[in-house]
Amino acid sequence: MVGEQNEREEALDLGPLQRALERCTEGLLLLRERPGESIIRDGVIQRFEFTYELAHKTLRRYLRMTLATPGVLEEMAFQDLIRTGYAQGLLLHSWEQWRGFRQCRTNTSHAYDEVKAQRVVESVPAFVEEVRFLLAALRRRADGAG
């Protein structure tokens, strides 16, 4: 309980998620310039992976800090975390879109497959928009604007 209270009192550090988003965006821009280079595509996939992990962990931290009963997060399924974030106006899209992002993340963890890699890369621009929205919403809340 003490750790939970301390986490609720600390400000949410958005820096790591912001930097991950910048790296992911940078990779996408480079891939648009050089679309046939598999090493760049693979870098975009890796950047998607860590940005995805930071996005949902940042959302979870924020909700833990702000929910009246933060302990419910410990038992909350991932889709309920996303639904809660969406209901609070923190996410651009609902669980249906995030289910696709989650499947892409799962696909990056398994045996390498050219078709799956391409599908992941195709989903990254929408994911980048989602993370931009999340960051903007969290900044507005941190500034007391909503």
CA 130 distance to own-chain centroid? 7
CA 20 distance to own-chain centroid? 9
Pick the catalytic residue: 8, 47, 105, 119? 105
Pick the catalytic residue: 32, 61, 110, 139? 110
Return d(Cα 60, Cα 57) in angstroms, integer: 5
Return d(Cα 35, Cα 48) in angstroms, integer: 17
Is 110 one of the catalytic residues? Answer: yes
Is 93 one of the catalytic residues? Answer: no
Which positions are annotated as active-site residues? Answer: 105, 110
